[in-house]
Chain A
Amino acid sequence: MAVPIMRQGDVLIASLQEALSDRALVELRDELARRVGLYRAHAVVIDVTALDVLDSFATRTLRAMAQISRLRGARTVVVGIQPEVAFAMVQLGLTLDGVDTALDLEEGLSLVGRGVRGSERHAP
């Protein structure tokens, strides 16, 4: 499995590494779908901090991941989009409509209601 997926309670955390191929992204999408069902996860946090490019394919796949997770009752938050990457995405006309976003892993976990140390934190 190219992308490591961690589980923290009922939150799945996937940390994407740099230079992810299309195939690895598709594998991740399918694996996340499987695990959301398996663990009855209520949220999926996808950390893209290490990605230096988010092109149309990657963006489409992230949206697909969110759609699939939603069908299985889980919310998806994409975290860690870098300033240059966000800039390129809007220039390209790419959006993550329907997907929540947060600055980083800490913020993302706070958003979905599970702190880093496992303590409950409520979203504002």
Chain B
Amino acid sequence: MGEAEVARRKAFLELRDEDVEALKGLREIARKYVDPVVEDLYRHFLSFEETRAFFRDPAALERVKRLQKDYFLRLTEGDYGSDYVSNRLRIGTVHERIELAPKWYLGAYSFYLRAMALRLLEAYRQDPERALRSFLPLMKLVFLDIGLAVDTYIHAREITLRKQQEAIRELSTPVLPIRDRLLLLPLIGVVDTHRARLVTDGLLRAIRDHRAKVVVMDVTGVATIDTKVANHLIQTVTAAGLMGARVIVTGLSPEVSQALVALGLDLGKLDTVGDLQGGIEEADRLLGYRLVPADPAGGR
């Protein structure tokens, strides 16, 4: 987050130099009340089941309370430059990582503001207007903090989601190099147009990256093979062929083959073998491999 961005946020919140001075003026009060305020905050967290879950370990709880006190004191230190901002941004990232939802930590900010409001009313009992005027700069600063924390939380969330989507995509279109120049593509599940494109794309890249000459594409696990799916498979085979790779399709049952032919599909383009083992044996033959037992005598 650049300095210009932070400056815009402060400008929008109308956080000015006189507010910074006012906040510094609250330092004494903050130091006086930091312990009871933070203790109250954690009493509050521990009284709710959802937030209690985050503080089961007593050592961790103590550590977090210390961090919380630092946070609280920093609000009135008077230095709200790049260090301050970095510190606040980290908070959002941590919350996303430990999966503490915004509703809970926003509640914490609310707690601080209320706690400080009450303490200020007490301190300036004779002059309630002064109490309010001292409170407003604090509100501006806390809202700066909220904005920073929430934005980083959202950003971190988007990154996590994107990684998850990548992982799912990887898992669902695996291309496995099982021998030199030989790839295995086990297709499992539903093959709709979108998935077919992903599979084809992934296969073609793998053919290039591994310089594959033969691909065994096993469709045993494909849920339904209708003419649409069969056409996708034929397209995948054709594309691989353009890159000089031969595709052996395994796992296509005779019933399904017959049904597809009856529906007018030309399966002549597909090189099919009954089962996966047969397909790999065929692939080995094409590549000139011959499997020989390590000890011809059949011993150890």
Chain A residues within CB distance 8 Å of chain B: 79, 81-87, 89-91, 95-96, 101-104, 107-108, 124
Contact = CB atoms under 8 A, between A and B. Distances in A.
Contacts of B286: 124
B201 A83 contact: yes
B284 to A, nearest CB: 11
Contacts, number: 54
Contact of A83 (B197, B205, B211): B205
A124 B242 contact: no
Given A87-B239, A90-B239, A103-B211, A79 B244 contact: yes
Given A82-B208, A83-B208, A90-B200, A103 B238 contact: no
A107 B205 contact: no
Nearest to B237: A90
A90 B243 contact: no
Contacts of B240: 86
A95 B197 CA distance: 17
A91 B211 CA distance: 23
11 contacts: A79-B244, A81-B243, A83-B208, A83-B243, A87-B200, A87-B239, A90-B242, A101-B243, A102-B244, A104-B211, A107-B213
Given A87-B200, A90-B200, A103 B241 contact: no
Interface in B183-210: 197, 200-201, 204-205, 207-208
A86 B207 CA distance: 11
A110 to B, nearest CB: 10
B64 interface: no
B200 to A, nearest CB: 6
Contact of A81 (B236, B242, B287): B242
Q: For this complex, into which size category does the number of interface residues on chain B fall? A: 20 to 34
A86 B288 contact: no
Contact of B242 (A89, A104, A107): A89
Contacts of B235: 90-91
B216 interface: no
A81 to B, nearest CB: 5
B239 A89 contact: yes
A122 to B, nearest CB: 10
B287 A101 contact: no
A101 B213 contact: no
Contacts of A82: 208
Given A86-B242, A90-B238, 11 more contacts: A83-B201, A83-B208, A85-B242, A86-B243, A87-B239, A89-B242, A96-B242, A101-B242, A103-B207, A103-B245, A108-B244
Given A90-B235, A90-B238, A90-B239, A83 B244 contact: no
A124 B238 contact: no
A96 B239 CA distance: 10
B275 to A, nearest CB: 24
Contact of B204 (A79, A83, A124): A83
A92 to B, nearest CB: 11
B294 to A, nearest CB: 25
B88 to A, nearest CB: 44
Nearest to A85: B242
A103 B213 contact: yes
A95 B238 contact: yes
Nearest to B285: A124
A48 to B, nearest CB: 10
A107 B244 CA distance: 9
The 9 closest A-B pairs by CB, nearest first: A83-B204, A102-B244, A86-B242, A103-B244, A90-B239, A86-B239, A90-B235, A81-B242, A101-B244
A101 B246 CA distance: 10
Interface in B243-258: 243-245
